[in-house]
Amino acid sequence: MIRFLLKGLIRDRHRSLLPIIVTALGVMLTVVFHSWLTGVLGDSIEYNARFASGHVKAMTPAYHSNMQQMPNDLAILGAGQMMDSLQVLYPFMDWVERIHFAGLIDVPDENGETRIQGNALGLGIDLLSPTSQETERLNLQQSLRTGNLPARPGEALMSHEFSAKLGIKTGDVFTLIGSTMYRELAVYNFTLSGTVEFGTTALDRGSVIVDLQDARFALNMEDAAGEILGFNVSGYFDEEMTGQVINEFNSRFYDTEDIFSTMMISLRDQNNMGTFLDYSTKLIGLLLVIFITAMSIILWNAGLLGGLRRYGEFGMRLAIGEEKNHVYRTMIYESLIIGILGSVGGVFLGMLIASYLQKNGIDLGIMMKNATILIPSVFHARITSQTWYIGFIPGVFSALIGTMLAGIGIYKRQTARLIKELQA
C-alpha cells in the first residue's frame, strides 16, 4: 500500500507538493530557531567561562573568600606541580594558569616624567608558549585594533579605549605600579604591542593583558597562580561532568582546616552564573514550547484544510464501494509520508543555515556596545543532538493530527447522499 500511495503522491503534485513545502519550511524554521536560541544563550555562558570563571576553577579557600579583590597574596603556591597533577588526573580538560591583578598605569613624557595615569585591571595569561590556546580562547587575534599580539617578554596588550584615553600608541612604554604577592611595591615596565577591542564595556574600559611569566616576575609570584581554570575540550560547559571532576578533586586536595589548600568550584558557583544557567534553561524550554506550538498549529491547520478539500474525492471513493476505514487509513498514511518527507527536507535546509550561523555567527556588537556585563558581540548558533529531531514534532505529528481530525468527517458521510453530491 505504501508503494501505491507514494506513486499517487508523486503523480498528483497538487496533493503533495504544497503540503511538503509548507511542512519543510515549518521544520526549517523550528531547527534554525532552536539552534540559534541555544547558541545565543550558550555563547553568553561560554564568554563568561573563557574570560572569568572557566568551566571549573581551582584556588585556595582564602582566595575564594576574597575573590572579587583579586588577593594574589593568597594565591596557589607550587602551581606547576598542581598543573601536572590536573593534566594527569583529568586529561579530557584543558588547564590554564591565570593571574588577575589591579594597578596604576603610568605613562611618561619625553623627559621620563609622569604625563598621565590611569587605573587598570590586568590579566596574566600564557601568551608566548607555542602550545597555549589562550589567544584563541580569548579571541585576541580577531579583537586586535592596532599593532600585534605580544611576541616577546615585556610586551603587553591594552584595551583600545583605555590606550586612547591615556594617549599611548603601539611601541610606547608604560609602567605598571601595583602590589606584589608579598604586599611590596611593584614597578614594572611594559611595551605596548597592540590594542584590542572586545565590544564589552566591562573589558574595554581599562584592561591590560600580559604574558603569565611577565605577571609573575612583576608581582613576585614565581611558580604561583591566583587561579587555575579548567575547560571542557568540547568547548561547552557540561554540568554533570564538571560536577564529577569537582567532587573527586576536592576529596583529594581540599582540606577544610587549611585555608591554603586547593579547592575547586564550578562555573555555576561564580558570578551568579547558577541563576543564569537555570534561567537560560527555562527560557529555552519556554520559547521552544511557544514556537513549536505556533508551528504545530500552522501545520495542523494545513493538514486539516488539506483533508477538508478532498471530501469530494473521498465521497467518490465511498460511492464506488471503498470502506470508510480504508479511506481513513490511506489518508493518514499519506499525511505521514508527506510529514516525513517534508521534515527530512526541512531538517536538511535548517541544518545548512544553522551550520553557517554556527561557523560565522551574527555580529550584534552595536547592540552590546554599552553592556556592563561579560557578553559577546558576535553570537553563533549551536547544533545539538536535539536539533536533529526537534523539527519532526511539528513536521510529522502536528500535520498528522490535523489530518486525523479532518478525516473524522469521512465517517459522517451518508452514502445515500453521495449521488446528489456527485451530480452537483
Tell me the per-residue pLDDT of 116-138, one tens digit each, with 9 for 90 and over: 999 999 999 999 998 889 998 88
pLDDT on residue 382:
84
Scored b (16 or more CB within 10 A) or e, 180-211 reads bbeeeebebebebbbbbbbbbebbbbbbbbbb
Task: Please write the tens of the pLDDT for every residue from 198-231.
Answer: 877 777 888 999 999 999 999 999 999 999 999 9
155's grid cell: 610586551
The residues, any chain, with a CB within 8 Å of residue 277's CB and separated by 6 or more, are: 45, 239, 267, 268
Domain ranges of the chain: 2-47+276-423, 56-236
Q: What is the DSSP string of 16-76?
A: HHHHHHHHHHHHHHHHHHHHHHHHHHHHHHHHHIIIII-SEEEE-HHHHHTGGG--GGGPE
316's grid cell: 467518490
* Segments of 199-275 assigned E as strands: 207-211, 224-225, 227-232, 263-266
Q: What is the DSSP string of 168-207?
A: --TT-EEEEEEE-TTS-EEEEEEEEEEEE--S-HHHHSSE
**Per-residue pLDDT band at 422 (split at 50, 70, 90):** very low
Q: Tell me 393's DSSP state.
A: I
Please report where in the chains the cell 585591571 appears, as a residue: 121
CB atoms within 10 A of CB 382: 22
pTM recorded for the entire structure: 0.73
Please give the Cα distance from 179 to 176 (Å, whole number): 10
pLDDT on residue 95:
95
Q: List C-alpha distances in Å: 32 to 219, 361, 363.
A: 49, 13, 17
Please give the Cα distance from 123 to 374 (Å, whole number): 15
How many CA atoms does the CB half-sphere of 122 hold within 13 Å? 28
In percent, the amount of the chain with pLDDT more than 70 equals 80
Please report where in the chains the cell 601595583 appears, as a residue: 178
**Per-residue pLDDT band at 328 (split at 50, 70, 90):** confident
